Structure 1
Amino acid sequence: MSNEPPLIQSLRNAVAAAPSDVPLRLHLAELLLGEGLNDAAVAEAAVALQHAPGDSAARALMVRAMGMPAPAPEAPKAPEEPETPAAPAAPAGFDWRAAEDELGGAVPPRFVTSGATETPVPVDGQGDPGPAATWEVDTPGSVTLADVGGMHEIKERLEAAFLAPMRNPELGRLYGKSLRGGLLMYGPPGCGKTFIARAVAGELGASFMSVSINDVLDMWMGNSERNMHEVFETARRQAPCVLFLDEVDALGAKRSRMHHGGMRNTVNQLLTELDGVDGANEGVFVLAATNVPWDVDIALRRPGRLDRTLLVLPPDAPAREAILRYHLRDRPIESVDLGKLVKVTEDLSGADLAHVCESASERALLDSTRTGTVRMINMKDLLAAAKEVRPSTDPWFASARNVAMFANEGGIYDELLAYLKRKRKL
């Protein structure tokens, strides 16, 4: 794969970031076919068909990649009959409709180990909705921390430092604590920070509002600051509300590194809104997430703003089991030992685990198309896929290690240092 042209490698990265984008994947398959990489093109076409089983372009491309003759054009039908597109010819001996019928009764999956009666929702962020419309506020959801598989230590810290005081406003008033708060979650990408934020909103029975730099930044002078103010005003009107600042390193980057005055003003506006003069932020719980906390302006972490931090690490064993079970729940599988799979996927992020399940499906689908015999996804497919997937968190830990060792002012990265020592990454 390292000998592939740079354009194909770039497209592979784009497809990995958007695995359900069928046109993008077919474009990659076309380039692979043009380079004579027929097997790789077949694999991409097979995954495209998994996302869009009726896509005629994907089937036609697979036929070409496998060297089969192109389908003969159908004679036109009578005008009064509704015209239906003809499916391209499939490999000899392979009946797509029979395969669909055969797999129709193969779900729900059957695991070797006795599974729980409930399927926890994954913590990798898979299945989250796309970017919300500007100032869109979600009503209180049914997702709570009980739906987060594993991660017991994170749940306990959230409960003790953030949730318990918010759930007991009477005690808060007794001890003079206001109904407001700020928490900064940091850690490697793909480990569920967004999902945890939604679960916190569910725990509090609060509305949920997610904001990124795209929602705030504007090309016209003064509009970015106005947008930032309106974000907080919307959250205040919807209180109790969890305001989630995604990629806060972009919204609140270090002003000392900025060369554009407009962006510095936006950070200043964010600091002003977080202060909430005269108790304006009562009932607004600000959660922020970042992969690079060392790039966040230090003023954001002062008391009364994002003064509490939470390190969100790759999923532990119970969380990995929940994620794998979630991503295999609708796939035709047999004889899958989740306990063994959990052991061999240590250090993988939630997004990595989703990719393992996707790759195993590709293997089974491609094998079925080549042999003409439909088969289930088995443990061999999953183990082979897990062996090929390298932890996407490794580059993050390589950068974080230097920061934690040499820029740990005030012990803010003590928790990260302890994890690195435990994992022998120092």
Structure 2
Amino acid sequence: MFRSRSGPCHSSVPDREILPTMSDDVLLTSLLTAVDAVPDDVPLRLHVAALLADHGRAADALQHCSHALTRDPGNADALALLQRVTAAMAPPTTPLPVARPARPQPEPQRLRGFDWAQAEEEVAGIEEPLPAEADASTPVVEDVERPAVRLADVGGMQQVKERLELAFLGPMRNPQLAKAFGKSLSGGLLLYGPPGCGKTFLAKAVAGELGASFFSVGVSDVLDMYTGQSERNLARIFTEARRHAPCVLFFDELDALGQKRSHLSHSSSMRNTVNQMLTELDSVTADNEGVFVLGATNHPWDIDSALRRPGRFDRMVLVLPPDAAARTAVLRYHLRDRPVSDVNLDRIVKLTEHFSGADLAHVCTTAAERALALSMRDGRLHALTTKDLEAAVKEVRPSTGPWFATARNVVAFANTDGEYDDLSAYLRKNKKL
């Protein structure tokens, strides 16, 4: 992953009492679950960001803060919290050398020559200033992955796999054949859909299919409070990706980095960030051969239209909540290391339609907590049963509901060019439109 330097400021978010560590974990877990359920609730997201910042999780806090700014760019609390978080992430600065006290000037009549030894002693502690470019923050590749996962490791989602194969993987594996049919190998692929449905895992599987390196870029790796630094971060990220080609360059939460410029003020620094992204994708100053750019977003309708033009993120793949086969695979995965007895997975799969992968993981965790509580009360091990999972399903609400409510309005009023026809078909099939 790429990291960048940020700078100092203070937050106007009110101070809050520091709770014990165990209570903090429970509180944060509950609040993060609430944020997943209502991702566009700006005050809730800022509250969570402030709590994360209070407990040393500045990078996580920055992601929530940046997301809040995409919803409400002029929010004063969000801007102040952004400054506070970026200040916390800034490395300690090197203290300036202490100037030596000036030596008294000799009397003019006693000066007989220049004392070179004395001059060298006076300037010995002064360091040569670094050039502006060298002094700037440089993103560092901390975790270059070579994913071992393949599309075969993704449970279900057959339609998504077929779309990935036709639109992206097939032409990349057969460049000569693609060229014969006039199929362009340039451009990027945008994965969109409800949160928690496996977009990042699919991106890693694509890298595994291509045998390429995998670079994951988050909002905090790019955005910086200093003017011009975000653009430089993006330029260096693409430079590193080209140096490690072949690679998959994956931008998570692309709507936060490439939001519509029409929604930004003319003085906003985010406009320049979007412009820099367009420049890098167009390969104006360098060759992107071997750099496969993927993006993931929950809100494709908030992305600047220029980023969706041919040669950029011109192909979209809808990643929906897992189907029955995928839900079975996800439930098996999360139950594999837990004591299980007499579990009817088919029944649980039927009860969890429209649940995201993250929701299914939460169902398994909630059911395990119930079995653990019973085991502690009786003093003997009680394995997980269908009854525990059914009770957990009633307790956990699917987090995809708010997303589909927004998507329904987009399909009904903004699908003028047919780019959301796949989403429209799904909503009609499931009687959500």
The corresponding residue for 2:273 is 266
In structure 2, C-alpha distance between the alignment counterparts of 1:238 and 1:293, rounded to whole Å: 28
Q: Does 1:244 align with 2:250?
A: yes
Tell me the CA shift for residue 172 of structure 1: 3.5
The corresponding residue for 1:70 is none
Task: Summarize deviations over 1:297-316 as a string: whole Å, max 9, x none.
Answer: 00000000000001110000
Tell me the CA shift for residue 181 of structure 1: 3.1
Is contact 1:136–1:209 with CA below 8 Å preserved after alignment? no
Match of 1:14 among 28, 31, 47: 28
The corresponding residue for 2:239 is 233
Match of 2:334 among 317, 323, 327: 327
Aligned residue identity for 1:281:
N
In structure 2, C-alpha distance between the alignment counterparts of 1:234 and 1:16, rounded to whole Å: 38
Tell me the CA shift for residue 177 of structure 1: 4.8
Structure 2 unaligned regions, length at least 5: 1-17, 34-138
Match of 2:151 among 142, 145, 150: 145
Q: Does 1:383 align with 2:390?
A: yes
In structure 2, C-alpha distance between the alignment counterparts of 1:379 and 1:136, rounded to whole Å: 43
The corresponding residue for 2:358 is 351
Is contact 1:244–1:288 with CA below 8 Å preserved after alignment? yes
Aligned counterparts, 1:164-183, within 5 A: 164-175=170-181, 177=183, 179-183=185-189
What TM-score do the two structures reach when normalised by structure 2?
Answer: 0.68
In structure 1, C-alpha distance between the alignment counterparts of 2:307 and 2:343, rounded to whole Å: 47
What TM-score do the two structures reach when normalised by structure 1?
Answer: 0.69
Structure 1 unaligned regions, length at least 5: 1-6, 20-132
The corresponding residue for 2:369 is 362
The corresponding residue for 2:305 is 298
Aligned residue identity for 1:228:
L
In structure 2, C-alpha distance between the alignment counterparts of 1:231 and 1:301, rounded to whole Å: 20
Match of 1:218 among 224, 234, 256: 224
Name the count of aligned residue pairs: 307
Secondary structure (helix, strand or coil) at the match of 1:277 reads coil
CA RMSD, 1 decimal: 2.2
Tell me the CA shift for residue 371 of structure 1: 2.1
In structure 1, C-alpha distance between the alignment counterparts of 2:246 and 2:30, rounded to whole Å: 37
Tell me the CA shift for residue 176 of structure 1: 5.4
In structure 2, C-alpha distance between the alignment counterparts of 1:154 and 1:178, rounded to whole Å: 21
Percent of aligned pairs with the same amino acid: 63
The corresponding residue for 1:193 is 199
Tell me the CA shift for residue 13 of structure 1: 6.3
Task: Summarize deviations over 1:342-365 as a string: whole Å, max 9, x none.
Answer: 111111100000000000000011
Is contact 1:368–1:374 with CA below 8 Å preserved after alignment? yes
Aligned residue identity for 2:380:
T
The corresponding residue for 1:48 is none
In structure 2, C-alpha distance between the alignment counterparts of 1:406 and 1:18, rounded to whole Å: 31
In structure 2, C-alpha distance between the alignment counterparts of 1:176 and 1:163, rounded to whole Å: 16
Q: 1:239 to 1:175 in 2, by over 3 A?
A: farther
Secondary structure (helix, strand or coil) at the match of 1:348 reads coil
In structure 1, C-alpha distance between the alignment counterparts of 2:27 and 2:256, rounded to whole Å: 23
In structure 2, C-alpha distance between the alignment counterparts of 1:416 and 1:188, rounded to whole Å: 11
Tell me the CA shift for residue 403 of structure 1: 0.9
The 10-residue stretch of structure 1 (175-184 or 360-369) with the greater mean CA deviation from structure 2: 175-184
In structure 2, C-alpha distance between the alignment counterparts of 1:236 and 1:169, rounded to whole Å: 19
Is contact 1:225–1:265 with CA below 8 Å preserved after alignment? yes
Task: Summarize deviations over 1:179-215 as a string: whole Å, max 9, x none.
Answer: 4331111110000000000000000001101111100
In structure 2, C-alpha distance between the alignment counterparts of 1:255 and 1:10, rounded to whole Å: 38
Q: 1:261 to 1:146 in 2, by over 3 A?
A: same
Task: Summarize deviations over 1:380-422 as a string: whole Å, max 9, x none.
Answer: 1011111221111001001110111001120111111111111
Match of 2:161 among 146, 155, 160: 155
Q: Which has the larger radius of gyration?
A: 2
Is contact 2:145–2:215 with CA below 8 Å preserved after alignment? no
In structure 2, C-alpha distance between the alignment counterparts of 1:17 and 1:224, rounded to whole Å: 29
Secondary structure (helix, strand or coil) at the match of 1:210 reads strand
Aligned residue identity for 2:149:
V
Aligned residue identity for 1:163:
L
The corresponding residue for 2:121 is none
Match of 2:413 among 385, 390, 406: 406
In structure 2, C-alpha distance between the alignment counterparts of 1:226 and 1:392, rounded to whole Å: 36
In structure 1, C-alpha distance between the alignment counterparts of 2:358 and 2:247, rounded to whole Å: 28
In structure 2, C-alpha distance between the alignment counterparts of 1:249 and 1:304, rounded to whole Å: 18
Tell me the CA shift for residue 221 of structure 1: 1.3
Is contact 1:179–1:283 with CA below 8 Å preserved after alignment? no
Tell me the CA shift for residue 374 of structure 1: 2.0
Aligned residue identity for 1:354:
A
Tell me the CA shift for residue 10 of structure 1: 10
Secondary structure (helix, strand or coil) at the match of 2:188 reads strand
Is contact 2:218–2:253 with CA below 8 Å preserved after alignment? yes
Aligned residue identity for 1:15:
T
Is contact 2:189–2:317 with CA below 8 Å preserved after alignment? yes
Is contact 2:307–2:313 with CA below 8 Å preserved after alignment? yes
Q: 1:151 to 1:364 in 2, by over 3 A?
A: same
The 10-residue stretch of structure 1 (143-152 or 171-180) with the greater mean CA deviation from structure 2: 171-180
The corresponding residue for 1:103 is none
Q: 1:324 to 1:17 in 2, by over 3 A?
A: farther
The corresponding residue for 1:310 is 317
